[in-house]
Amino acid sequence: MEKTPETKRILIIEDEAEILHFASRVLELEGYHVLQAKDTKEGMRLIREGRISLLLLDLRLPRRDGWVVLRQIKSKPGLEAIPVIVFTASAGVSQREKALSMGASDYLVKPLSAASLREAVTRTLHQKR
């Protein structure tokens, strides 16, 4: 396999503008190509367009919550390989277990620092490799 520095494409699905901006900015500074979506519809569209290396998913999304997105991605043959990091304002243990059992690679709780975000992304991408 050729070792070309391939720019990873990360999709963030988050409805809260400020948080979306913060997360995007941090990941951009880390050298990733960031795609943004404010809701599941937009998110799914971007996923289907392809070449997403990682999905950062807010579980508490309007209309259809993030759980649906997680389930959908993990059940579709072409998509289930994409690693998903879920983040949410909810700190419940059962939520964490549920998310992980559904195939999420990591579970982050808001408020999130720049560092924990950065590290989670690196760790997940590393595992994939």
Contact positions toward another protein, by CB under 8 A?
15-16, 18-19, 21-23, 25-26, 29, 60, 62-63, 89-90, 110-115, 117-118
Nearer to another protein, 21 or 51 (CB): 21
- Beta-sheet pairing, 9-13 with 54-58: parallel
Q: Letter for the amino acid at 107? A: Y
| Nearest distance, CB of residue 109 and another protein, angstroms | 8
| Nearest distance, CB of residue 66 and another protein, angstroms | 12
SS3 (DSSP) at 42:
helix
SS3 (DSSP) at 106:
strand
5: which DSSP letter?
-
Nearer to another protein, 69 or 82 (CB): 69
Is 125 within 8 Å of 94 (Cβ atoms)? no
Nearer to another protein, 9 or 60 (CB): 60
Give the separation between CA 5 and CA 44, rounded to whole angstroms.
Answer: 27
| Nearest distance, CB of residue 14 and another protein, angstroms | 10
